[in-house]
Amino acid sequence: MVSPRGDPFWGNVTLASLLQPIWLVGLLLWSLMVLSAAQLTIRLIMAFSVRLTFVAAISLSLAALPIAAVYDVVVGPQASLSARLTAAPLAMVLMGVAGFAIARWLLKIRRLRGQIIAGLMVGLLDPHLFTILSGT
């Protein structure tokens, strides 16, 4: 489906926004910052790996795209701001689960407590909120 402006994915506002090159770069940088903050909060600084964090950020960014598609299906096309904010916890929970999985299997954070904290940080700092509030 094409919008009156000629934009594809009309009704898939979040996914369409995140697929734009500037948003993809922003999503990757945001994921890198969130995972870096989580690691530096949970681990000692000596255990921090830039390469591993970058790989995890790419994985988190890729996980954000299908989550955006699910979120767009739930809110439907041309949803109001209040409807989008009401459904935002769904994207936050899904991103939290992705963050937990990445902390456990990619970043190899040993303790369950650290994995849960990383998942909570990723969920609460969900990048989908930017697309909701940006008005795109």
Total structural domains within the chain: 1
Chain centroid to CA 118 = 13
pLDDT tens-digit readout, 24-51: 999 999 999 999 999 999 987 778 899 9
Structure tokens at 24: 């993809």
CB 90 within 8 A of CB 70: yes
**Among 46-50, 52-56, 68-72, 89-93, the least confident range:** 46-50
Range of the domain at 88: 13-134
Query: Which residue do the tokens 């190899």 mark?
Result: 108
Q: What is the value of pTM for the model shown?
A: 0.87
Task: With respect to residue 33, please indicate whether it lies within any of the assigned structural domains.
Answer: yes
pLDDT tens-digit readout, 75-134: 988 888 888 899 999 999 999 999 999 999 999 999 999 999 999 999 999 998 888 776
* Residue 8 banded pLDDT, cuts 50, 70, 90: very low
Task: With respect to residue 128, please indicate whether it lies within any of the assigned structural domains.
Answer: yes
Task: With respect to residue 122, please indicate whether it lies within any of the assigned structural domains.
Answer: yes
Task: With respect to residue 37, please indicate whether it lies within any of the assigned structural domains.
Answer: yes
State the pLDDT at residue 11: 52
Task: With respect to residue 85, please indicate whether it lies within any of the assigned structural domains.
Answer: yes
Task: With respect to residue 5, please indicate whether it lies within any of the assigned structural domains.
Answer: no
Helix, strand or coil, per DSSP, at residue 49: coil
